[in-house]
Amino acid sequence: MLALITVSSGAFTPGESTNGLNFDAPSAGVLNKAAAETWSGVGLAAAGTGTTATYFRFYDNDYDTGASPTGLRFDGAIGMSSTAELQMSVTTIVEGAPVVINTFNYTPPRS
C-alpha cells in the first residue's frame, strides 16, 4: 500500500464512519466521489522516494484486508487521463508527501 486515502487526510478507524470516503448517488450506473469531499492522504513508507501508483483497492468500512470470502472490496486503474477510473494529477507517490484524489468515476462490472 502506497497511501491510505480518507476524507481530508483524517484519521480512520475501521468500523467507524469518521473520515471514511463517500460517494454521490450513482448516475447511469457510475459511482462518483462525493463532490463535497476532499479525498487525500500521505504517502506511506512503501512508496519510498517515489513509486508510480497504477491501481487502487477500495475496502468497505470494516477494512478487512486479509483473505476473506465476505470482505467487500474492489480494484481499478489509476491514471492522469480522463479514461482512468481514479484520476490523479501526479501518480508518483512519495513517502510523507500529500496524495490527493482529483476525480473518481467507477463503473462496476455487470453480470
* DSSP per-residue codes, 25-93: PPBTTBEEB-TTPPEEEEB-GGGTT-EE--EEEEE-TT---SS-SS--EEEEEEESSTTSSEE-S--EE
**pLDDT tens string 63-102:** 888 888 888 888 888 988 878 888 888 899 999 999 998 8
**What does pTM read for this prediction?**
0.84
- What mean pLDDT comes out for the span 50-66? 90
Task: Give the residue among 102, 111, 100 at the shortest CA–CA distance from 3.
Answer: 100
